[in-house]
Chains A and B, each alone.
Chain A
Amino acid sequence: SQQGEEDPQALSIQEGENATMNCSYKTSINNLQWYRQNSGRGLVHLILIRSNEREKHSGRLRVTLDTSKKSSSLLITASRAADTASYFCATVRHSGSARQLTFGSGTQLTVLP
Chain B
Amino acid sequence: KAGVTQTPRYLIKTRGQQVTLSCSPISGHRSVSWYQQTPGQGLQFLFEYFSETQRNKGNFPGRFSGRQFSNSRSEMNVSTLELGDSALYLCASSTYARTQHNEQFFGPGTRLTVL
Question: A96-111: contact bitstring with B at CB < 8 Å (1 yes, 0 no)?
Answer: 0111111111100000
Q: Are B104 and A101 in contact (CB under 8 A)?
A: yes
The answer to whether the Cβ of A59 comes within 8 Å of any Cβ in the partner chain is: no
* Chain B residue nearest to A35 in the complex (CB): B106
Question: Given A103-B43, A105-B42: A41 and B108 within 8 A (CB)?
Answer: yes
- Number of chain A residues whose Cβ lies closer than 8 Å to a Cβ of chain B: 30
The answer to whether the Cβ of A113 comes within 8 Å of any Cβ in the partner chain is: no
The answer to whether the Cβ of B1 comes within 8 Å of any Cβ in the partner chain is: no
Q: How far is B4's CA from A92's CA once the two chains are assembled, in angstroms?
A: 21
- Number of chain B residues whose Cβ lies closer than 8 Å to a Cβ of chain A: 30
Q: How far is B60's CA from A1's CA once the two chains are assembled, in angstroms?
A: 10
A residues contacting B by CB (< 8 A) are 1-2, 30-31, 33, 35, 40-45, 48, 50-51, 88, 90, 92, 94-95, 97-106
Q: Which of A51, A88, A99, A102 contacts B48 (CB 8 A)?
A: A99
* Chain B positions within 8 Å of A1 at CB level: 44, 59
- Main SS of chain A's interface residues? strand
Q: Are B45 and A44 in contact (CB under 8 A)?
A: no
B residues contacting A by CB (< 8 A) are 4, 31, 33, 35, 41-45, 48, 50, 55-56, 58-59, 88, 90, 92, 98, 100-109, 111
Q: Are B107 and A45 in contact (CB under 8 A)?
A: no
Question: Given A42-B109, A100-B58: A48 and B103 within 8 A (CB)?
Answer: yes
* Chain A positions within 8 Å of B98 at CB level: 94, 97
Q: How far is B90's CA from A66's CA once the two chains are assembled, in angstroms?
A: 29
Which of B43, B48, B103, B106 is most buried by chain A, counting CB atoms within 10 A of its CB? B43
Q: Are B106 and A42 in contact (CB under 8 A)?
A: yes
Q: Are A103 and B42 in contact (CB under 8 A)?
A: yes
* Chain A positions within 8 Å of B41 at CB level: 2
Question: Given A1-B59, A42-B107: A94 and B48 within 8 A (CB)?
Answer: no
Question: Given A40-B111, A43-B106, A101-B33: A2 and B42 within 8 A (CB)?
Answer: yes
